[in-house]
Structure 1
Amino acid sequence: MLSFRILLALMIFVAPPLLAEDEDEKEKETEEAAPVISYYQVKPSLVANLASGGKYIRCDVQLMTNDELFLDELNLHGPAIRHSLLLLLSEQDGKSIKSPSGKEALRKKALSTLGKLMQELSGKNELKALFFTTFLVQ
């Protein structure tokens, strides 16, 4: 009976701290495994004449990646990125990109275009998202 009480006391007082340590370790592993998000800003602002004539677009673009080393590739190929975006913007019609759905379609097309470009130039595409941080059609 005495051994049962000792065993019960050990379970009550020793087991909870051990379980808490396991939970802390799991939280630390989860924090360490979380991807690091980095952004590359295309500078300066992009300005292009629209295909519809008489109008232009001015926008700022940020590219998101989970690979910090890929930022070096983006910096290296910055002129090619800028060129591709300017060509894509100059193909757009002013009416279609004024609507939210038109902007979203342009965002997806730009991300796809830059993904293919980076695959061609660096052998990998680590782009996860593209964001317009300013967008003006006039």
Structure 2
Amino acid sequence: MSAQAAPAETPKKKSKKLLVIILAVVLVGGGAAAAWFMTAGAGDGKPAAEEKLPTQYFAMEPSFVVNLADTDSVRYLQADVQIATRDPETLAALQAHGPALRNRLLLLFGQQLSTSLTQRSGKERLQEKALAEVRAVLKKEGAPDKVDAVMFTSLVTQ
């Protein structure tokens, strides 16, 4: 009888083994799917709930009026400048350090030649230099310097 009983136990062992393997695969697959689902929104490294703050503008008033560095004749630059940031602390720093920012920008604008400001590329270079000056002033003062852009809302040379 023992010879007959042995073959009867083998299919039960195989079916239990198969059942354990199937359960293990389902559990591992389910765990992997759950992990993927939970981290799918965090692919950019930022929490999904954090939204981009709106851009805020700081107007440098009054308009800048400077003599240009041309040697052949007297030329002037008049510029209206807005500084853009999304950081409220940087906006407060811009307001607090307005006089120092204005001084640095006046010095920068007074170094320009009228011929360099006739083309768009020259105006864009001036914007980049102005952005660097603004960030340098804020950094020197130990203030947040998350400035996105310096924009000219009016730029006239004569």
TM-score normalised over the length of structure 1: 0.75
Q: Please name the residue that 1:38 is paired with.
A: 56
Q: Please name the residue that 2:135 is paired with.
A: 115
Task: Tell me how far apart the structure 2 counterparts of residues 115 and 70 of structure 1 sit (CA, whole Å).
Answer: 10
- Runs (4+) of structure 1 moved beyond 2 Å? 29-32
Q: Pick closer, same or farther for the CA change 1:32–1:134 going to 2, 3 Å.
A: same
The aligned amino acid for 2:60 is: V
Structure 2: segments with no counterpart, 5+ residues: 1-40, 42-46
Does the 8 A contact of 1:73 with 1:122 survive in 2? no
The answer as to 2:80 corresponding to 1:79 is no
Does the 8 A contact of 2:90 with 2:146 survive in 1? yes
Higher alpha-carbon Rg? 2
Task: Tell me how far apart the structure 2 counterparts of residues 82 and 63 of structure 1 sit (CA, whole Å).
Answer: 11
The answer as to 2:118 corresponding to 1:98 is yes
Q: Pick closer, same or farther for the CA change 1:72–1:93 going to 2, 3 Å.
A: same
Task: Tell me how far apart the structure 2 counterparts of residues 68 and 97 of structure 1 sit (CA, whole Å).
Answer: 32
Larger relative contact order (C-alpha < 8 A, sep ≥ 6)?
1
Output aligned runs, 1:17-36, within 5 Å.
33-36=51-54
The aligned amino acid for 1:106 is: L
Which of 89, 101, 108 does residue 88 from structure 1 map onto? 108
Output aligned runs, 1:2-17, within 5 Å.
none
Tell me the percent identity.
35
Which of 48, 68, 76 does residue 50 from structure 1 map onto? 68
The aligned amino acid for 1:96 is: S
Q: Pick closer, same or farther for the CA change 1:98–1:69 going to 2, 3 Å.
A: same
More moved, 89-98 vs 117-126 = 117-126
Task: Tell me how far apart the structure 1 counterparts of residues 89 and 119 of structure 2 sit (CA, whole Å).
Answer: 35
Does the 8 A contact of 2:89 with 2:144 survive in 1? no
Aligned residue pairs total 111
What SS does the aligned partner of 2:150 have?
Answer: strand
Task: Tell me how far apart the structure 1 counterparts of residues 127 and 49 of structure 2 sit (CA, whole Å).
Answer: 30
Q: CA deviation at 1:30?
A: 6.1
More moved, 64-73 vs 105-114 = 64-73
